[in-house]
């Protein structure tokens, strides 16, 4: 273990990925020192229960190799020396891909494509992060891993299913981390933890070595403290392989988009939830209307709209069950799965391959109808979630039906865009009266990540969001 000063531990806690890379490349600090400081913070964040596996020795070796390469004159990558964390559902060579449970026991033989690209860009893989089993719920709680807590208030959930990653990034352990989103699982924990979380267009990020993530619903992506860091990670990891079933359209550099002024946009806002019967928290309604006012002050054409949401249930539910069932069918020890997971698998027995493919086709019709709003506006502004972060223990002793009911307010604004495939981002807007972060969701048209990044960066400059210290 290398010595590292308390000053460096504290200073690098607030560094972005962009700042970290520049400091290492310019010789201000070594990758080894940055990594050691992150490991110290990881040890101090144990009360959050966000880390499933701390890769301390591997990270030290990786950081040392980055320093050797730089000293030898090798060109540094765009993430040179930046420590990152990886959600448990993403293969990391030599580590068991647990999906948040105990169903597997054999380490993955190779990195997933996104992890391979992160390493190739110079990142240092620090840890693997907690998630609910198979990412089924928007609360990071499981029988095998226990409860993951929100660093803003440990009595509250960080959301899910990428809650372990969100907690570590929000706590300043690392500047960025990888998550996944099949129904809001990047945006929900980003909203709960005060982060910027963009779900990209379906097919933007490779799911290799797997053909898909929850069929047409899921995608991997980063959770970050800044828009620039999110854009940087996406420019590193995006792009499909021959393995991928879904492929996004061509767009330009995300980093350049985040640096560019968006111009005058037509922005429609609505606080009506997609899911009928869900009532948004008044704080989230205010966050939307106040953000709309800020956007109007910035010169955009802002108006309330009726998005005419289609009902995504018939497309989402079969793919949800199919995603859980396909992942459960692939584990080595199905008898070790949680009781709730086994019950979910049984409940989804009706989702035969034909039903699943019908649901994917149904999703194409949902997408067509959902995208009609973009004939009127360039960006749609909504709440990210309906309710404030719940007290931890939401899933204690409950089966899949009660867990689904508890989850509905979390996905009421988010899941439609997984079905439709559109990019959508959770953008922090400050703190609520309860001291927890507030957020809004920005939704873009098909392949519209550049406009979302440009607009979110403009909001970030106009109204900087608080970071946890």
Residue numbers annotated as active site: 87, 161, 185
Give me 417's structure tokens: 């865009």
**320 vs 267: CA distance, rounded Å:** 31
Is 56:39 a contact under the CB 8 Å cutoff?
yes
Pairing assessment for the beta strands 124-129 and 51-54 based on DSSP bridges: antiparallel
Give the sheet arrangement for strand 83-87, strand by strand.
51-54, 124-129, 83-87, 176-181, 219-224, 196-199, 424-431, 437-443, 379-383, 266-269, 301-304
Q: Which one, of 172, 169, 82, lies nearest residue 129 by Cα?
A: 169
Is 424:222 a contact under the CB 8 Å cutoff?
no
**116 vs 343: CA distance, rounded Å:** 35
**428 vs 191: CA distance, rounded Å:** 7
Please, which contacts does 329-334 make with residues 24 or more away whose CB atoms are closer than 8 Å? 331/99, 331/101, 331/103, 331/104, 332/103, 332/104, 332/105, 332/106, 333/102, 333/103, 333/104, 333/105, 334/103
């Amino acid at each position: 273990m290398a010595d590292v000063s308390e000053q460096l531990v504290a200073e690098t806690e607030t560094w972005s990925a962009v700042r970290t890379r520049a400091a290492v490349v310019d010789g201000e600090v070594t990758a080894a020192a940055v990594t050691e400081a992150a490991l110290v913070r990881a040890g101090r964040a144990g009360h959050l229960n966000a880390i499933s596996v701390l890769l301390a020795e591997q990270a030290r070796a990786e950081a040392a190799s980055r320093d050797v390469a730089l000293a030898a004159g090798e060109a540094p990558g765009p993430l040179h020396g930046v420590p990152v964390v990886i959600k448990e559902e993403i293969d990391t060579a030599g580590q068991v891909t647990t999906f948040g449970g105990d169903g597997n026991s054999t380490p993955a033989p190779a990195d997933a494509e996104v992890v391979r690209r992160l390493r190739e860009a110079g990142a240092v893989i620090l840890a693997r992060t907690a998630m609910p089993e198979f990412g089924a719920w928007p609360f990071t709680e499981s029988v095998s891993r226990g409860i993951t807590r929100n660093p803003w208030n440990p009595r509250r959930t960080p959301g899910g299913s990428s809650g372990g990653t969100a907690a570590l990034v929000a706590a300043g352990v690392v500047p960025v981390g990888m998550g996944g989103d099949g129904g809001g699982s990047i945006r929900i924990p980003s909203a709960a933890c005060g982060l910027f979380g963009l779900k990209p267009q379906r097919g933007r990020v490779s799911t290799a070595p797997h053909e898909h993530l929850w069929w047409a619903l899921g995608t991997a992506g980063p959770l970050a403290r800044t828009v620039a860091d999110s854009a940087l990670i996406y420019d590193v990891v995006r792009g499909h392989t021959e393995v991928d079933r879904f492929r996004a359209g061509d767009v330009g550099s995300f980093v350049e988009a985040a640096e560019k002024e968006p111009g005058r946009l037509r922005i429609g806002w609505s606080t009506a939830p997609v899911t009928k019967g869900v009532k948004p928290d008044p704080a989230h309604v205010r966050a939307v209307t106040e953000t709309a006012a800020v956007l109007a002050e910035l010169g955009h054409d802002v108006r309330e709209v009726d998005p005419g949401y289609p009902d995504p249930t018939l497309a989402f539910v079969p793919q949800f069950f199919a995603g859980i069932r396909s992942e459960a069918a692939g584990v080595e020890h199905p008898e070790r799965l949680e009781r709730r997971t086994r019950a979910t698998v049984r409940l989804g027995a009706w989702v035969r391959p034909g039903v699943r493919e019908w649901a994917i086709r149904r999703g194409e019709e949902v997408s067509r109808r959902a995208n009609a709003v973009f004939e009127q506006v360039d960006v749609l502004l909504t709440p990210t979630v309906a309710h404030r972060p719940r007290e931890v223990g939401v899933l204690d002793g409950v089966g899949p039906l009660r867990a689904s009911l508890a989850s509905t307010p979390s996905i009421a604004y988010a899941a439609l865009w997984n079905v439709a495939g559109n990019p959508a981002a959770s953008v922090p807007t400050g703190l609520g009266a309860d001291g927890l972060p507030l957020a809004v969701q920005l939704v873009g048209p098909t392949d519209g990540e550049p406009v979302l990044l440009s607009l979110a960066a403009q909001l970030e400059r106009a109204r900087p969001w608080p970071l946890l210290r």
